Amino acid sequence: DGGITQSPKYLFRKEGQNVTLSCEQNLNHDAMYWYRQDPGQGLRLIYYSQIVNDFQKGDIAEGYSVSREKKESFPLTVTSAQKNPTAFYLCASSGLAGNEQFFGPGTRLTVL
């Protein structure tokens, strides 16, 4: 199960606090992605990055921010502006954008 890791597995935060979710990959992949998984809604793309120092908004980017300072890392910050942050967050990577994606184990964020 190596290759792409997410931490922590579970995260609890108080309303109004920003929180950063970690995603690291050692697959030498150029592209990385963040998804949100809600029951009955499948996976919705938050942000993606095809190359270091560049990223694009997905379908539900409001209230989230990302950075891509290193090829291996693509952290996601859930800001206080995100109206409904409690969810399961999945990170993925692929060799090239559009190719097979490899997924991390996910982080379940609960905002109290």
Q: CB of residue 97 vs another protein: minimum separation in angstroms?
A: 4
We find the least distance from the C-beta atom of residue 66 to another protein, in angstroms, to be 16
Q: How many residues touch another protein (CB under 8 A)?
A: 23
- Dig out the tokens for 55 from the structure: 């990223």
Q: What is d(CA 78, CA 71) in angstroms, rounded to the nearest whole number?
A: 21
Among 50, 67, 73, 86, binds another protein (CB under 8 A): 50
Q: Annotate 41-106 with three-state secondary structure.
A: CEEEEEEEEEECCEEEECCCCCCEEECCCECCECCEEECCCCCCCCEEEEEEEECCCCCCCEECCC
d(CA 2, CA 87): 23
Minimum CB distance to another protein, residue 100 (Å): 5
* CA atoms of 13 and 29, how far apart (whole Å): 31
Binding window for another protein (CB under 8 A); candidates: 7-15, 22-30, 76-84, 103-111: 103-111
- Candidate list 23, 78, 104, 109; residue touching another protein; CB under 8 A: 104
Q: Which of 40, 54, 84, 112 binds another protein (CB under 8 A)?
A: 40
The residues binding another protein (CB under 8 A) are 1, 33, 35, 40-45, 48, 50, 90, 92, 97-106
